[in-house]
Chains A and B, each alone.
Chain A
């Protein structure tokens, strides 16, 4: 145990570099997946058949490819096609795209849960599609969507570790590097696990807050 604390003090600063990258990857891909997910969801509910089918197939393609393969593709294959991304860019792009499919389905479920009478009331006062979305549907859908959105945040935080497979030195990879050069596997990976948990706990509490608020109405 004494050894652990000694190791912890020694490795903590290096692991914190990994934490910084983990947070950057998580926030970056969260923002990207939110924007893309909203676009896919809007296409899905647009009522325009071509758009809705395009979005449905996109979502299925994205869902059917493992994140790790998506990352390899962006990082190792894209250069052959003339597009070179840094490891960090490829990680954010890959995770963002991969999660946009889940975000889109979540947003769509939220939008479709809104009572049809709400949309008719909006139409009856002359609102068009976009105004109905912006003023009536989306503000109500947010309440429904937030709890699952919080869960996606937690999953993304943990899945950001997959960026290690394309050399992004985030928390998991930093840990692995230290462990393989010091052989202090127990100390290092315990520390890594505790650091992930520490970052997850605020998010878990946030989800609980969202759930309580959503349950009130």
Chain B
């Protein structure tokens, strides 16, 4: 469903992606792990055209991703994104955040969008917060609203960019719980994360990225439990046993 083939990307003189080739099948949950600065987030941002890429090709359902082409709107409505820092619209309520895309991008009828918006907030456990503004919500609640906002577009896939990295530790579980449920329901997900437990339990496949290349990939359990490459072993040792 999502195909990357030999994708290169530089910021100025720094080459952050040095030929990424990967694919994500429908219904698959793929976790991308790796040290910071390795290019993990850049891959996600290239998939939905928030960032351009210099070489290679990315396609979503056969449609080439080109952030300067009109088709990018089509791709973005099919591939939603959840950000590390939530990026909710602070001047709108939780419910308004969720229905913004359906109402103004997809032009759904108001009553229908609101009804579905409330159902989505209920699905992420925030039915009673529909009228709250983002600054009144905790980080975990904000991120769950952001997930509901992504779901409201009825996407074929969701990209998660370190969705729990900005959260207090005790709030991480709520967000991961919602994501696990989504995975169980068959949503196609690409998750950049440092939550190795989540990757092990929920992901079908794990990509380990370092220095702009995919160093190792495979079924989650084998990559995380028996990493073959020395850089993967080293990274996992430092993440799992920081002391």
Contact = CB atoms under 8 A, between A and B. Distances in A.
Interface of A: 115, 117-118, 120-128, 131, 135-136, 139-140, 217
A123 B77 CA distance: 9
A125 B89 contact: no
Contact of A125 (B76, B90, B135): B76
B89 A120 contact: no
Nearest to A125: B101
A217 B89 CA distance: 13
Given A117-B83, A120-B50, A120-B83, A126 B153 contact: yes
B240 interface: no
B11 interface: no
B105 A124 contact: no
Interface in B44-101: 48-50, 73-74, 76-77, 80-81, 83, 85, 87-91, 100-101
B118 interface: no
Interface of B: 48-50, 73-74, 76-77, 80-81, 83, 85, 87-91, 100-101, 104-106, 135, 149-150, 153
B143 to A, nearest CB: 12
B105 A140 contact: no
Nearest to A121: B87
B105 A131 contact: yes
A148 B142 CA distance: 31
A118 B87 contact: yes
Contacts of B90: 140, 217
B37 to A, nearest CB: 19
B149 to A, nearest CB: 7
Contacts of B89: 118, 121-122, 136, 140
B146 to A, nearest CB: 8
A125 B100 contact: yes
A135 B100 contact: yes
B149 A125 contact: yes
Given A120-B83, A121-B83, A126 B101 contact: yes
A165 B90 CA distance: 47
Specify the main secondary structure of chain A where it touches its partner: helix
Best-buried of B88, B89, B135 by chain A (most CB within 10 Å): B89
Given A117-B83, A131-B105, A135-B104, A126 B91 contact: no
B87 A120 contact: yes
B165 to A, nearest CB: 14
Given A124-B150, A126-B105, 11 more contacts: A117-B83, A118-B87, A120-B50, A120-B83, A121-B89, A123-B49, A125-B153, A127-B104, A127-B105, A131-B105, A139-B91
12 contacts: A117-B83, A118-B87, A118-B89, A120-B83, A121-B83, A121-B88, A123-B76, A124-B76, A126-B73, A127-B101, A131-B104, A140-B91
A44 B64 CA distance: 30
Given A131-B105, A140-B90, A126 B85 contact: no
A121 B90 CA distance: 12
B50 A123 contact: yes
Contacts of A120: 50, 81, 83, 87
Nearest to A135: B104
Contacts of A115: 87
A131 to B, nearest CB: 6
A140 B89 CA distance: 9
Contacts of B80: 124-125
Contacts of B135: 217
A12 to B, nearest CB: 46
Given A131-B104, A217-B135, A124 B85 contact: no
B73 to A, nearest CB: 5
A125 to B, nearest CB: 4
A121 B86 CA distance: 9
A124 B86 CA distance: 12
A114 to B, nearest CB: 10
Contacts of B76: 123-126
B121 to A, nearest CB: 16
